[in-house]
Structure 1
Amino acid sequence: MAPRTAPDPARRSERARSAVLAAAYELVSEVGFGRLTIEAIAARAGVGKQTIYRWWPSKGAVVFDAFLAANGRQDGDFSLPDSGDLGADLRIVLRLSADDLTDPTLDRTYRAINAEVLGDPAVQAEYRTRLLDPLLNVTRDRLRSAREAGQLAPDTDLDFAVELLYGPLYYRWLHQLGPVDHDFTDRLVDAVLRALNPPAAHGRSGA
């Protein structure tokens, strides 16, 4: 008779963690962030409530981990290409952002999170630290390298430039003012670069 293999605690823990993340992601899209409870997540995942609290300090932390996992990301896992063509690189990242926002499996969850961000400072802090700030930081770094290469005016305000790129995208998505598609994001990049570039840089930026 072959000896029995002892259960692998690490594998069991990973299965439980994955079940919690899946349950949190499903439930927040079904009931919204405000009505979501740790008890409901535990029940759907088939784990004890204390198991969740052992890994996450709050409901918000679980939800943000679930959202990052659904997007195939970890904390701070954002990057922008640097091909030397600023316009082409920005089109890539804004197209990806548009794809995320309009993905039917993500849209309701993301809207629920955004609603909570407006009224809950703790959720806002999680959102800024784990989702928004990493994206803005890598975009700012890419714009800085373009400014140093002479593709943007030397006095370009990088913080303002980042807001010019993402502000209209999220505004249109949030208020459902029109399609958030690649045509829109390409036109947005072109408009922002025309506003930021010195006249001599237009031909070099790919705008």
Structure 2
Amino acid sequence: MSVANSQPRRTRSGSRRDEAARLAVLHAADDLLAEHGFGALTVEAIARRAGVAKQTIYRWWPSKVEILLDTLIEDSGKRLPIPTDKPTAEGIRGYMRAFARFVTRDPAGKVLLALIAEAQHDPATAKLLHERHLGPRREQERDMLARAIDAGAISPGLGADAIDALVGAIVYRALTGSSVPYRLVDALCDDLLGARTG
């Protein structure tokens, strides 16, 4: 047996993502969306900004929507975690305030709004957004409310579905370019959760 054949085979990296390049692509997509909007965002522009080949991006992501979804999922997980500690009305209000900040001030929140807008006329985007982000996150948010209901911290007339009324009102304001002041968030929480949180 030759020496060459006796060496262990080196694992080929193939299409495995280089973490630095992956993060550069996600950050580039996030920044370009904030600067130019969804319509002007292209894979070519993302590749230029990230300093990677366009072919590399297409090997990892089939479309700009998939890139933006990965950006959204990663950033919302870090910057908008869903509380898992003891459920309280005050904790839910804090989360809703953070959500209002996220969709009005955070670049990742702008990604969420852009994908929601795109989903209105692109069924494929709507399906991906629901499957990969909105659906799983809504289940966690409903669980947060359900635990608070079980603990007697809140008593919303809508049950755990009150999360839809809370999130929906905030997203509507953000989508229409309106501010989402904390007093509005607090009033929504007080009215919809059946508990005074202030």
Residue pairs, 1:26-175, within 5 angstroms: 26-71=31-76, 73=78, 78-85=81-88, 87-103=89-105, 105-106=107-108, 108-151=110-153, 157-159=159-161, 161-175=162-176
TM-score of the pair, normalised by structure 2? 0.76
Cα–Cα, structure 1 residues 60 and 180, in superposed 2: closer, same or farther, change >3 Å?
Answer: same
CA distance in 1, matches of 2:103, 2:138: 16
Percent identity, aligned pairs only? 38
Counterpart CA distance in 1 for 2:111 and 2:154 is 36
Q: Which ranges in structure 1 are unaligned for 5 or more consecutive residues? A: 1-8, 195-201
- Render the CA deviation track for 1:106-146: whole Å, top value 9, x for unaligned: 56544432321211112222222333223311121122223
* TM-score, reference length from structure 1: 0.73
- State the distance in 2 between where 1:124 and 1:190 align: 31
Q: 1:81 to 1:95 in 2, by over 3 A?
A: farther
Write the distance in 2 (CA, Å) between the matches of 1:128 and 1:83: 28
Separation in 1, partners of 2:148, 2:76: 28
Runs of 4+ more than 6 Å apart: none
Unaligned regions of 5+ residues in structure 2, if any?
Answer: 1-12
Number of equivalent positions: 185
Aligned partners of 1:78 and 1:135 also within 8 Å:
no
> What root-mean-square deviation, in Å, do the aligned CA atoms of Structure 1 and Structure 2 show?
3.1
Q: Deviations over 1:2-24 (max 9, x none)?
A: xxxxxxx8xx9222112211221
- Shifted more, 87-96 versus 120-129: the winner is 120-129
**What SS does the corresponding residue of 1:119 show, helix, strand or coil?**
coil
Show the counterpart of 2:193: 193
Cα distance in structure 2, aligned partners of 1:84 and 1:110: 26
Q: Is 1:20–1:45's contact at 8 Å kept on the other side of the alignment? A: yes
Task: Tell me, in whole angstroms, the C-alpha distance in 2 between the residues paired with 1:164 and 1:56.
Answer: 33
Match of 1:198 in 2: none
